[in-house]
């Protein structure tokens, strides 16, 4: 199963448009549209509840559904626009809710995270109105994927400078797609 995590709130999202071009490489995929999920932060009560379930080894509660889906995906594509030097908060809430010890990660005897995710690839698609700095979005996702989730290959597909006067948005999106196609080895 291929998983599309869509964190693009705008109906006419340029990030989503670029992501859908990348999705053409997959025969099928399941989409999660984060802006409509109304995900909640892990409050004290929710965290205590989740911790008790984890300690009991009981992962059947619906609170774990997204974590199980993420862990079982063959390929993951995240689409998130570059907002305020990061990504939309719905993506952070999603990560907070899926990072479940025993499903997506476990700890070694040395205390290091060991990834349990099945995915071979994680693609991160973004667009930015100005210059893009990966330190505050993609680099964070890449570190989680490789160091905690066990996903060995990550890839950034980006289109930037889309809101700069005189720049051609459609040309920038086309060039981002062409650059990705040339580099794609799968």
Distance between CA atoms of residues 114 and 130, nearest Å: 36
Residue 183 has pLDDT above 80, yes or no: no
For the CA atoms of the chain, what is the radius of gyration? 17
pLDDT at 186: 52
pLDDT at 185: 53
Assess contact for 4 and 29: CB atoms under 8 A: yes
> Which H or E run includes 139?
helix 138-144
And the tokens for 78? 């995240």
- Counted domains in the chain: 1
Instruction: Return the CATH number at 7.
Output: 3.40.50.360
Task: Give tens-digit pLDDT for 146-168.
Answer: 999 999 999 999 999 999 999 99
Distance between CA atoms of residues 16 and 173, nearest Å: 11
Give the domain range for residue 158: 2-183
The DSSP result for 104-130, as a single string, is TEEE-TTS-EEE----SEEEEEEE-SS
Distance between CA atoms of residues 18 and 166, nearest Å: 21
Q: What is the pTM for the complete model shown?
A: 0.94
């Amino acid at each position: 199963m291929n998983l599309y995590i869509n964190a693009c709130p705008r109906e006419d999202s340029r990030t989503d448009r670029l992501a859908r071009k990348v999705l053409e490489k997959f025969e099928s995929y399941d989409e999660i549209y984060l802006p409509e999920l109304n995900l909640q932060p892990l409050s004290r009560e929710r965290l205590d509840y989740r911790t008790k379930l984890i300690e009991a080894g009981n992962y059947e509660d619906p609170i774990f559904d997204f974590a199980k889906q993420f862990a079982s995906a063959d390929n993951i594509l995240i689409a998130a626009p570059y907002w305020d030097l990061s990504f939309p908060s719905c993506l952070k809430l999603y990560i907070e809710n899926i990072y479940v010890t025993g499903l997506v990660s476990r700890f070694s005897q040395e205390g290091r995270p060991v990834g349990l995710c099945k995915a071979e690839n994680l693609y991160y698609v973004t667009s930015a109105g100005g210059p893009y700095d990966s330190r505050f979005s993609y680099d964070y996702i890449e570190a989680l994927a490789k160091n905690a989730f066990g996903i060995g290959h990550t890839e950034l597909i980006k289109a930037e400078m889309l809101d700069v006067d005189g720049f051609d948005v459609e040309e920038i999106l086309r060039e981002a797609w062409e650059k990705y196609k040339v580099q794609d080895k799968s």
